[in-house]
């Protein structure tokens, strides 16, 4: 992740309150954090993360405020406090909040953005040989993980069908399979949405790095448009925001590390283990989608190479 330092004008604490804590925000949140303050609501509060939903339908609609040792989502503001310090102990679900003017505020929490980080990892140029080797390393790491890599929709036919249709470059078939798993599964981020997010990120970022302007990026554009068109009414607010982030290439830190491993920049094993440790099944679901997206990027790049050879 690339950290972009910004040094805003210091603001005095509000009367009767402590000075705001410093935070590092994803660039995906800039459209809402740089705007004037807007009302929001706390939709979930955990020891390591708080989720705020903004009123209205403009994405990103959900802002995550997370501890420094929590899973770093692409829509996160990271505070300089670990979970053991209980930075969110006074935040209550259902409470009123405000987001904007470079701040996130609610009862028991006031964070001022002091830095920005880029949720789209820089992968550089990825050769077909590097991508093929990276996909093999990813598959080996997932196989080694065993049941820990079992996604929440294991046994459901559509994730496999989605992966196959993407690898074949079949947009219509991929959209049909994708639309059947949007919102499928329990929790704040249903398994179907996590699989789709991992798939879209891998298609866009690795496909773009391996073959700029190729069929993988084309597929990511159209598939992303299809699954985000009505995500706000078909899944949770947090999952809809994460799908919008993924469609534009926004990855959480753990997913970004796996993509960097596939691109040949770091070992696959440790990166995959960190991702699989995220959430109950979210890590495995994201890994399932990333694997499908990497396989599709490899297959579509190979088919494009064959077409170029025939044309020549």
Whether the predicted pLDDT of 166 surpasses 60? yes
Q: Stretch 45-49: mean pLDDT, rounded? A: 95
Distance CA 181, CA 176 (A): 9
Mean pLDDT of the chain: 91
Distance CA 120, CA 212 (A): 15
pLDDT digits (tens, 9 = 90+) for 181-223: 999 998 899 999 999 999 999 999 999 999 888 999 999 999 9
Whether the predicted pLDDT of 237 surpasses 80? yes
Whether the predicted pLDDT of 10 surpasses 80? no
- Specify the pLDDT at position 303: 57
Q: Stretch 259-282: mean pLDDT, rounded? A: 96
**Residues composing the chain:** 312
- Specify the pLDDT at position 15: 55
Residues 6+ apart with CB under 8 A from 90: 107, 108, 109
Q: Stretch 3-13: mean pLDDT, rounded? A: 45
pLDDT classification of 311: cutoffs 50, 70, 90: very low
Whether the predicted pLDDT of 310 surpasses 60? no
pLDDT classification of 17: cutoffs 50, 70, 90: low
Whether the predicted pLDDT of 4 surpasses 50? no
Spatial contact of 149 and 287, defined as CB atoms under 8 Å apart: yes
Domain locations in the chain? 2-118, 128-311
Spatial contact of 40 and 98, defined as CB atoms under 8 Å apart: yes
What are φ and ψ of residue 115, in 5° steps? -145, 160
Q: Which one-letter DSSP state was computed for residue 156?
A: -
Whether the predicted pLDDT of 306 surpasses 50? no
pLDDT digits (tens, 9 = 90+) for 124-152: 999 999 999 999 999 999 999 999 999 99
pLDDT classification of 23: cutoffs 50, 70, 90: very high
- Specify the pLDDT at position 9: 39
Q: Looking at 183-312, list the stretches that DSSP marks H as alpha helix, in order from N- to C-terminal side.
A: 191-210, 215-228, 231-234, 237-247, 253-262, 268-276, 282-311
- Specify the pLDDT at position 213: 84
pLDDT classification of 57: cutoffs 50, 70, 90: confident
Whether the predicted pLDDT of 302 surpasses 80? no
């Amino acid at each position: 992740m690339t950290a972009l330092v910004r040094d805003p004008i210091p603001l005095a604490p509000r009367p009767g309150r402590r000075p705001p804590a410093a935070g590092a925000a994803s660039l995906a949140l800039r459209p809402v954090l740089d705007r004037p303050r807007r009302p929001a609501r706390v939709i979930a509060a955990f020891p390591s993360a708080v989720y705020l939903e903004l009123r209205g339908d403009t994405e990103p609609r959900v802002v995550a405020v997370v501890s420094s040792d929590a899973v770093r989502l692409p829509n996160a503001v990271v505070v300089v406090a670990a979970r053991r310090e209980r930075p969110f102990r006074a935040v209550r679900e259902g409470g009123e909040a405000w987001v904007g003017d470079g701040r996130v505020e609610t009862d028991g929490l006031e964070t001022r953005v002091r830095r920005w980080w880029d949720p789209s990892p820089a992968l550089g140029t990825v050769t077909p040989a590097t991508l093929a080797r990276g996909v093999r390393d990813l598959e080996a790491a997932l196989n080694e993980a065993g049941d820990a890599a079992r996604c929440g929709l294991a046994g459901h036919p559509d994730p496999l069908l989605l992966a196959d249709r993407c690898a074949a470059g079949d947009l219509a078939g991929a959209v049909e399979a994708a639309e059947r798993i949007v919102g499928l599964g329990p929790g704040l981020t249903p398994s179907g949405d996590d699989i789709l997010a991992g798939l879209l990120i891998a298609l866009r970022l690795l496909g773009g790095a391996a073959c700029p302007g190729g069929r993988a990026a084309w597929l990511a554009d159209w598939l992303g448009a299809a699954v985000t068109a009505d995500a706000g009414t078909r899944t949770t607010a947090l999952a809809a925001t994460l799908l919008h982030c993924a469609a534009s290439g926004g990855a959480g830190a753990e997913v970004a590390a796996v993509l960097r491993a596939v691109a040949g920049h770091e070992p696959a094993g440790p990166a995959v283990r960190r991702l699989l440790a995220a959430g109950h099944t979210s890590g495995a679901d994201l890994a399932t989608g990333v694997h499908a997206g990497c396989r599709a990027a490899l297959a579509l790049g190979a088919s494009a190479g064959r077409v170029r050879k025939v044309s020549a």
